[in-house]
Amino acid sequence: MTTSENPRERLERLMQRVLSELPLRRAPASLERRMIEAIEGRAGQALGRESSTHVRRGGFASWPLTARAALVACCLASVIVVLLGLKELATRLPMLATEPSIAARLQALRDAGEAAAAVAAVPARLIRAIPPDWLLGALLATAMLYLALFALVAIGYSTLYATPERTRS
């Protein structure tokens, strides 16, 4: 060992010790997410299949042709079944209304509908009695209170959670 290497080795050890005492820094969230997606993509390709994140990210247009065709076929079949069911219901509904047990239930439903309409008419009359200027003022006051609440939540969030460490990364 020469004397010129000794101070150099000491400096290396000193730097190693100082650097090992420093806390580890966390990678930015965007870099971490991209790395995880890249690793998952490579793992999917290594297994011989397309990564599932590509299908989710691309939407319906990026699905394989067979999957798109199957989905469209299922949707069309569902529409046909619903339309046939509605047609069947429309043809049998008049026959059901003439049966005595069902007719009594239908009359009870009609009575309940009339009662609900009468109850709903009371608030409608009250609202019509309020001058339009008051309604507009109440609407504007509600919008201003909503904006104030939104601003307070934003200020509170930035005060509580936006630390200098998070804003830099």
Enter the pTM of the model: 0.31
The Cα–Cα gap between 169 and 158 comes to 15
Higher pLDDT, 2 or 151: 151
Which phi-psi region, left, alpha or beta, contains residue 59 (left: φ > 0; alpha: ψ -120 to 50)? left
Q: Other C-beta atoms within 10 Å of 142: how many?
A: 10
DSSP state of 62: G
Q: How far from the centroid of its chain's Cα atoms is residue 48's Cα? A: 31
Task: Classify the C-alpha dihedral 70-61-56-79 as positive or negative.
Answer: negative
**Any idea where the domains of the chain sit in the sequence?**
9-63, 130-169
More confident residue, 116 or 31: 116
Q: Residue holding tokens 């490579």?
A: 42
- Residues of the chain above pLDDT 70, percent: 85
Residue whose C-alpha is closest to residue 51's, from 64, 65, 66, 38: 38
